[in-house]
């Protein structure tokens, strides 16, 4: 699956936020938080464009992982039904798409926080990680609705993902084999930690009370 990981990285590296802003004659890397992710696109250009960016970033993770899973015969199999090598190979493709988004060579190896692309790539690991991703996404939606902090929601969702993966692996539908799902749990923990690390500036602003809220005035 090495070549599919390279394809996934290439797909993930497409900076849709930059392209959407450029179509409006704007440079998203110089406005707002200077981040090409969906949140900043929505803040600078309006919510519809932010939703479009989120959807495209989701798909650039989902599509290559789904194609790889179909080709390898992994689609529809629980973690317990896959070898550790197969699990690692498949989830590595999702990780490659996320890394492409975070460190895009098209914008000098800068990029977004990886949340939408990670959601897309991991959701495509059906059903091994899809349910945990939905749990994490539900937490993301709930935290945004309650606090209006997208960054806090992303941090909590990233922390919840490996825990949800572990819990799902313990259920009959998930294969009832936590030990057998260790590659998915370990990689999801690593990806979650990377997402949290990418939010380190947001964490500092949250602690200082200067982080921006959705629909609110910019904090000073």
Task: Show the CA angle centred on residue 147, arms to residues 199 and 138, nearest 5°.
Answer: 80
Q: pLDDT digits over 168-219, tens only?
A: 999 988 888 899 999 999 999 999 999 999 999 999 999 999 998 987 644 4
Global pTM exceeds 0.75:
yes
Q: What pLDDT, on a 0 to 100 scale, did the predictor assign at position 128? A: 87
Q: pLDDT digits over 59-111, tens only?
A: 999 999 999 999 999 988 888 889 999 999 999 999 999 999 999 999 999 99
Q: What pLDDT, on a 0 to 100 scale, did the predictor assign at position 216? A: 60
For the chain, give every domain's residue range.
2-208
Ramachandran sector of residue 78 (left: φ over 0; alpha: ψ -120 to 50; beta: rest): beta
């Amino acid at each position: 699956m090495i070549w599919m990981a390279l394809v996934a990285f290439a797909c993930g590296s497409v900076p849709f936020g930059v392209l959407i802003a450029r179509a409006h004659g704007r440079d998203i890397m110089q406005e707002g938080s200077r981040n090409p992710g969906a949140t900043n696109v929505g803040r600078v250009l309006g919510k519809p464009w932010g939703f479009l960016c989120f959807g495209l970033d989701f798909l650039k993770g989902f599509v290559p992982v789904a194609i790889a899973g179909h080709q390898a015969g992994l689609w529809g199999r629980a973690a317990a039904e896959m070898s550790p090598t197969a699990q690692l190979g498949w989830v590595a493709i999702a990780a490659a798409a996320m890394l492409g988004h975070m460190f895009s060579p098209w914008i000098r190896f800068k990029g977004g926080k990886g949340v939408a692309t990670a959601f897309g790539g991991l959701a495509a690991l059906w059903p091994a990680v899809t349910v945990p991703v939905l749990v994490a996404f539900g937490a993301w939606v709930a935290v945004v609705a309650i606090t209006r902090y997208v960054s806090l929601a992303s941090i909590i969702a990233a922390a919840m993902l490996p825990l949800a993966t572990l819990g799902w692996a313990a259920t009959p539908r998930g294969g009832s084999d936590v030990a057998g799902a260790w590659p998915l749990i370990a990689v999801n923990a690593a990806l979650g930690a990377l997402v949290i690390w990418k939010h380190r500036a947001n964490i500092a602003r949250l602690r200082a009370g200067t982080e921006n809220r959705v629909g609110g005035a910019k904090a000073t």
